[in-house]
Amino acid sequence: MKIVLDAMGGDHAPAVVIDGAVQAVKELGIELILVGIEEDIRRELARHDISGLPLTIVHAPDVIEMDEHVDALKSKPNASIRVGMRIVREGQADAFASAGNSGAVMASAILDLRRIRGIKRPALATVYPVAPTPVLLIDNGANTDPKPENLLQFAQMGAAYVEKLWGIQNPKVAIVSNGEEDDKGNQLVRETLPLLKASGLNFVGNAEGKDVTKGIANVIVTDGFTGNVMLKLTEGLVSFLARYFKHELTDGLLNKTALALMVPGLLLATPGILLMLPTFKRIAKRVDYAEYGGAPLLGVDGVVVIGHGRSNAKAIKNMVRVARDMAQVNLVQVIKTAVTESEEG
Amino acid sequence: MKIVLDAMGGDHAPAVVIDGAVQAVKELGIELILVGIEEDIRRELARHDISGLPLTIVHAPDVIEMDEHVDALKSKPNASIRVGMRIVREGQADAFASAGNSGAVMASAILDLRRIRGIKRPALATVYPVAPTPVLLIDNGANTDPKPENLLQFAQMGAAYVEKLWGIQNPKVAIVSNGEEDDKGNQLVRETLPLLKASGLNFVGNAEGKDVTKGIANVIVTDGFTGNVMLKLTEGLVSFLARYFKHELTDGLLNKTALALMVPGLLLATPGILLMLPTFKRIAKRVDYAEYGGAPLLGVDGVVVIGHGRSNAKAIKNMVRVARDMAQVNLVQVIKTAVTESEEG
């Protein structure tokens, strides 16, 4: 299994990407093709003992910066993202992974790998982590104004992903809405509802915001605008609550210290606070994108995974793991078959 | 100051509404007109000592149930909601408050009080509580498919509310989007952007999901679909994290008890855990809708506040407080003036 990794993609590229790449080839049983500016890659690799590791380099002279407009793709056919996509298109690798400019990765995937025949709009899927069991949220930013038939395909692709990657048979599918009843929703949701009901998917109905965190479905479908807002709101909320707790804890400790000067016995309480720390760490870990790796771009004719720009080495490794798993179960073929069956059915 | 309270509105009506009404007239310096089934209201009032309290009853024979379709309004002109609205329209009271069927309250407000001249769509505003300072989120459910000119008016009404009710001069206004840059957003957001920039409001740009919890603006504008999903997702997340913490705490205590059997000294740590409880309570209080009362419906020609269906007595009282404050600053007139100036300017 060969995976192309964009060495130039991410806020801390190439250093952190190379650190993650070395971890990945050591742990994941795969070969990696690093695309990017060869000199930079070699310099970062020199910090590691890589003798015998299945790492190769393909030089790509250009870089699409994190904040560059997606139009830059056209004027940079030799950017690492585009070179990497072509390696996959030509069958020289099984998957492409990048923590770079996500708009550019999506656009390049559509341009260079093409869409799967029958799929009108590819979509970005993400693990929504704050639920009793993991939930796949699709779309989270690829399509801000999709049509009902696009949402139907997001649901089909999401269900295929969850079934093959997470081993959940006949996964439950829901659509984000502003109420439980069928007449709730914006126009898009109300028009998508009959398509989902007739789809043959295990469609369980509307999911209100509060239902998402209850895990009422394995796949939650929404437009890319709403999905993006939901994910980033979750990120903001968890970080706000963590800061709030830390602040309260510090205050609590200070108050307790003051008290302790008067009542020395209370000092004995401090270990209790310290015992709380693992809980905070576990929550932080639960909502840490690094644990989940990247977001699969579903609907293009090849395996593409997009990582968070802030990815650390562990996130890079986990992004590569997601790409490996998708290639291993041949997800692209599964989606092709699902689309064909849906068109015939 | 006279306020009409829908005695039949809410999951625990009329009992809890009457409890809240009694608290409100004792604490808020207002008179209350209770509308609903007189017999039921009298029965609940009998549980309290109300001698000398400024409470009057107006009988309304019909009730619109919490889960009833909004169409029920038409066949029930004498439902408590409609009778209450008419009392306000006829100038016999200064405001209307209900924790009942929110769709029916909105529809009745538009039908019986009418929109403010020039306001195309009224909107529901809510305090978004998980931020360093309170944020007014508008719209949160009245309009699932608004137009750009509607969002502009939501921004104007929200700014008027925050300025008059919270005393924030020239409040910062932002619009929910899926990225910071001007070319991000769905079509609605991109088309609204130039209107907001030209509005004379203190418009600070796009707010991503994570910016909402950072308090980057005092007023955050969005369509009712997205606003509703954001609020309910927040509700779900906070409740999930609270359950998670509680679970972890319990586990922690159990583990610690087991340890303590081996190392008796550790038992002394337990008071530390107990000292954490106020922190949980403070967070719970912060996100408790009961603290904030109700959501003002802005843009109708009268003060209308809608409470959470699950309102307890304290929430009912705070809902009445919000209605009183809106009437006191004459918010309807302020919005009328703002609309006229905006049309002339």
Summarised one tens digit per residue, pLDDT across range A183-232 is 899 999 999 999 999 999 999 999 999 999 898 999 999 999 999 999 99
pLDDT of B73 = 92
Q: What is the mean pLDDT of residues B2-15?
A: 97
Question: CA-to-CA distance for A101 and A113, rounded, in angstroms?
Answer: 17
The owner of tokens 């910016």 is B211
Q: What's the pLDDT band for B152 if we cut at 50, 70, 90?
A: very high
Does the domain at B1-119+299-330 match CATH 3.40.718.10? Answer given as yes
State pTM to two decimals. 0.90
Which helix (H) or strand (E) segment is A194 a member of?
Answer: helix A187-197
Are the C-beta atoms of B175 and B192 separated by less than 8 Å? yes
Q: Tell me the nearest-neighbour CA distance from B248 into chain A, angstroms.
A: 6
Residue A75: half-sphere exposure toward Cβ, Cα within 13 Å: 6
What are the residue ranges spanned by the domains of chain A? 1-119+299-345
CA B99/CA B81 separation, integer angstroms:
10
B178 touching chain A per CB within 8 A: yes
Let me know if the fold of B1-119+299-330 is the same as that of B123-292: yes
Using the predicted structure, report yes or no on whether residue A129 has a pLDDT greater than 90: no
The shortest CB-CB distance from B241 to any of A144, A179, A241 is to A241
pLDDT at A262: 41
* Residues of chain A with C-beta less than 8 angstroms from the C-beta of B278: 252
Pick from A226, A150, A221: nearest CA to B230: A226
Minimal Cα–Cα distance from B72 to chain A, Å?
15
CA-angle at A307, arms to A303 and A308, nearest 5°: 160
Q: Show Cβ contacts of residue A155 under 8 Å, excluding neighbours closer than 6 positions.
A: A138, A173, A175, A196, A199, A201, A203, A219, A221
Which of A256, A275, A310 is best to mutate for the B interface (most B CBs within 10 A)? Answer: A275
User: Looking at the predicted structure, is the pLDDT value of residue B343 above 80?
Assistant: no
Q: Which of A298, A293, A289, A286 is nearest to A159 (CA)?
A: A298
| Model confidence band, residue B283 (pLDDT cutoffs 50, 70, 90) | low
In percent, the amount of chain B with pLDDT more than 90 equals 74
> Looking at the predicted structure, is the pLDDT value of residue A290 above 90?
no
| pLDDT over threshold 70, residue A268 | no
pLDDT of residue A252: 52
Minimal Cβ distance to A275: which of B210, B245, B272 = B272
Contact between chains at A252 and B232 (C-beta distance less than 8 A)? no
Does the CB of B268 have a partner CB in chain A at under 8 Å?
yes
Q: Is A237 in contact with B239 (Cβ distance < 8 A)?
A: no
Write down the pLDDT at residue A19: 98
Say how many C-beta atoms besides its own lie within 10 A of residue A258's C-beta. Answer: 10
> Considering only CB atoms, which chain B residues are within 8 Å of A276?
249, 252, 272-273, 276
Sequence-distant (6+) residues with CB within 8 A of B60 are B8, B35, B36, B37, B78, B79, B80, B82, B83, B84
Complex-level ipTM: 0.89
B-chain CB neighbours of A236 within 8 Å are: 209-214
Q: Of B108, B138, B303, B293, which is closest to residue B212 (Cα–Cα)?
A: B138
A145 lies within 8 A of chain B by CB? yes
pLDDT tens for each residue of A45-68: 999 999 999 999 999 999 999 989
Decide which of 3.40.50.300, 3.30.310.80, 3.90.1150.10, 3.40.718.10 is the CATH code for B123-292. Answer: 3.40.718.10
Residues in chain A: 345
Which of A77-80's residues contact partners 24+ apart within 8 Å by CB, and which partners? A79/A8, A79/A104, A79/A108, A80/A6, A80/A7, A80/A8, A80/A9, A80/A35, A80/A36, A80/A37
Q: Which of B130, B209, B228 sits opposite A178 (nearest CB)?
A: B228
Residues A179, A263: Cα–Cα separation, whole Å: 53
Helix, strand, coil fractions of chain B, as percent rounded to 5: 50, 15, 35
Q: How confident is the model at residue A157 (pLDDT cuts 50, 70, 90)?
A: very high
Please identify among residues 63-92 of chain A the ones whose CB lies closer than 8 Å to any CB of chain B. 69
- DSSP letter at A317 equals H
Mean pLDDT across the stretch A77-85? 98
Give every CB contact of residue B282 below 8 A, 6+ residues apart in sequence.
A248
Minimum CA–CA partner of B256 in chain A: A275
Residue type, A136: L
Mean pLDDT of B222-235: 95
Question: Cβ of B248 and A279 within 8 Å?
Answer: yes
- What does pLDDT average to over chain B? 89
In CATH terms, the fold of domain A1-119+299-345 is: Isopropylmalate Dehydrogenase (3.40.718)
Beta carbons within 8 Å of A54's beta carbon, 6+ residues apart: A25, A30, A31, A32
- Least CB-CB distance to A186: which of B131, B212, B225? B225
pLDDT at position A215 is 87
Return the beta strands (E) in A95-239 as ranges: 95-98, 123-128, 135-138, 172-176, 202-207, 219-221
Cβ distance B145 to A229 less than 8 Å, yes or no, reads no
Whether residues A273 and B275 touch (CB distance < 8 A) is answered with yes
Query: What average pLDDT does this structure show over B218-247?
Result: 87
Q: What is the pLDDT of residue A276?
A: 52
Contact B269 A249 (CB under 8 A): no
Q: Using one digit for the tens of pLDDT, what is the confidence trace for A321-344?
A: 999 999 999 999 999 998 888 777
pLDDT at A61: 97
Contact A307/B at CB under 8 A: no
Average pLDDT value over all residues in chain A: 89
Residue B233's alpha-carbon distances to A180, A207, A278, in angstroms, are 14, 10, 26
CB nearest B272 (choices: A69, A176, A269):
A269
Q: Closest CB to B234: pick one of A177, A237, A252.
A: A237
Q: How confident is the model at residue B284 (pLDDT cuts 50, 70, 90)?
A: low
